[in-house]
Amino acid sequence: MTKDEFYMGKALHEAKIAYNVGEIPIGAIIVFEKKVIASAYNLRETLPCATAHAEVLAIEKACRALSRWRLSGCTLYVTVEPCSMCAGAIVNSRLDRLVYGCDDPKGGAVHSLFCIVNNPSLNHQVSVTSGIREEECSQLMKDFFRQRRQ
């Protein structure tokens, strides 16, 4: 198992918690110096708050953990391709790296619909690795929406 697969497993654990509480099953963790400093899952329905996406919540926790807003030296692992709001937060928090599981063809802003995190017009670009444990991440989303439709 690679380092990325290992950490994606931790993000998947967060996504499964979201699934079990009725939230869209997206989980995120942030790693700094080989240590998980933040973990989160979607809480939009629970809070209720439109910005309570796993990535944003994890970024907020990581900023508090490091007592700084610049998350240079950190990697964000998230089970699904981030949306435009989250991609903007990733750029603005100066994360070095983003690793995600499966694409989001309807809302993804890293590869699918937009390429925000690597836009040369912005003052920061993020290294991206995608497709890590892709089938598990995708299947969790499919199972959730299949259950919701029933």
Residue spans of alpha helices (H) in 1-83: 3-20, 54-66
CB-CB neighbours of 57 under 10 Å: 21
- Of 55, 81, 134, 135, the active-site residue reads 55
- Tally of CB atoms within 10 A around 123: 8
State the pairing for strand pair 74-80/35-41.
Answer: unpaired
Q: Which residues are annotated as a binding site?
A: 53, 83, 86
CA distances from 145 to 19, 27, 104, 121, 149 (A): 10, 16, 14, 36, 6
60: annotated active-site residue: no
Partner residues linked to 75 by β-bridges: 31, 97
- Residues taking part in catalysis: 55
